[in-house]
Amino acid sequence: MARNVSTTVETAQASGGGRTRPRRRRRWMSWVVVAFLAAWAVIRAGGLEWGSFVTQLMTLTPYGAIAALVTAAVLALRGNLVRALVAVVSCAAMAVCVLPRAFVEDTTTQGAPLRVLSINLFGRADPQAVVDLVRRLQPDVFSALELTHGEAAALDAAGIRALLPYQVLQTDYGATGSGLYARHPLTELPHLFTPVGHNMPAAAMTLPGGARVEVVAIHPNPPLGRMADEWYRALAALPAPTPDAVRVLAGDFNASLDHRALRTLLGRGYVDAAVQAGKGLVPTWPNGRLIPPMITIDHVLVDERAGVGAAEILDVPRTDHRGVFAELRLPASLSEGRPT
Is residue 209 located within the same domain as residue 304? yes
pLDDT above 90 (res 210): no
The residue type at 186: L
Report in angstroms the alpha-carbon separations of 75 from 37, 41, 131, 304, 305.
Answer: 14, 18, 52, 43, 47
Structural domain contains residue 182? yes
Mean pLDDT (the chain, rounded)? 92
Same domain, 323 and 179: yes
- Confidence at residue 24, expressed as pLDDT on a 0 to 100 scale: 79
32 and 136 part of one domain: no
Its domain, for residue 79, covers: 2-100
Per-residue pLDDT, averaged over 297-306, amounts to 97
Does 132 lie in the same domain as 263? Answer: yes
96 with 115, same domain: the answer is: no
The torsion angles phi and psi of 15, rounded to 5 degrees, stand at: -65, -45
Residue 103: other Cβ atoms inside 10 A: 11
pLDDT of 108 higher than 70: no
Assess whether 80 and 136 both reside in one domain: no
Same domain? For 158 and 290 the reply is yes
| pLDDT tens figures, 53-63 | 999 999 999 99
Residue 84 within any structural domain of the chain = yes
pLDDT, position 158: 98
Q: What is the dihedral of CA 65, 66, 71, 74, to 10 degrees?
A: 150
Number of domains in the chain: 2
Which of 10 and 124 is assigned the larger pLDDT? Answer: 124
CATH number at residue 256: 3.60.10.10
- pLDDT at position 326, please? 98
- Of 72, 100, 128, which residue constitutes the final position of a domain? 100
CB 247 within 8 A of CB 241: yes
What average pLDDT does this structure show over 168-196?
97
The answer for residues whose C-beta is within 8 angstroms of residue 193's C-beta and 6 or more apart is 202, 216, 237, 238, 239
Read off the DSSP letter of residue 285. Answer: B
Q: Kindly state whether residues 124 and 76 are assigned to the same domain.
A: no
Q: Do 213 and 272 belong to one domain?
A: yes
Other CB atoms within 10 A of residue 164 CB:
24
3-state DSSP call for residue 291? coil
What is the predicted pLDDT for the residue at 25? 80
Interval 5-9 mean pLDDT: 46
Q: How many angstroms separate the CA atoms of 223 and 337, rounded?
A: 39
Residues 208 and 233 in one domain: yes
- Residue whose C-alpha is closest to residue 279's, from 238, 216, 327: 327
DSSP, res 183: S
Segment holding 178, helix H or strand E: strand 178-182
Residue 245 covered by a domain: yes
Q: Among 100, 124, 149, which residue terminates a domain?
A: 100
Domain match, 126 and 75 both: no
Q: Please report the DSSP string for 193-259 in residue order.
A: ----SS---EEEEE-TTS-EEEEEEE-PPP--TTHHHHHHHHHHHSPPPBTTBEEEEEEE-S--TTS
Q: Give the pLDDT of residue 13.
A: 47
Residue 30 in any domain: the answer is: yes
Same domain, 94 and 112: no
**Which residue, of 81, 100, 119, is where some domain finishes?**
100
Lowest mean pLDDT among 12-21, 97-106, 123-132: 12-21
280 confidence band (pLDDT: 50, 70, 90): very high
In a domain, 340, yes or no: no
| Residues 236-240, mean pLDDT to the nearest whole number | 98
Average pLDDT over residues 149-157: 98
Residue 110, pLDDT > 90, answer: no
pLDDT higher than threshold 60 for residue 196: yes
| Beta strands 323-329 and 307-314, pairing class | antiparallel
Residue 202 has phi, psi (to 5 degrees) of: -125, 145
Pick left, alpha or beta for residue 319 (phi over 0 → left; psi -120 to 50 → alpha; otherwise beta). Answer: beta
Residue 4 has pLDDT above 70, yes or no: no
CB-based contact 140:114 (threshold 8 Å) = yes
Q: Which of 71-75, 128-132, 142-146, 287-291 has the lowest mean pLDDT?
A: 287-291
Question: What pLDDT, on a 0 to 100 scale, did the predictor assign at position 338?
Answer: 52
Q: CA 54 to CA 33: how far, in whole Å?
A: 16
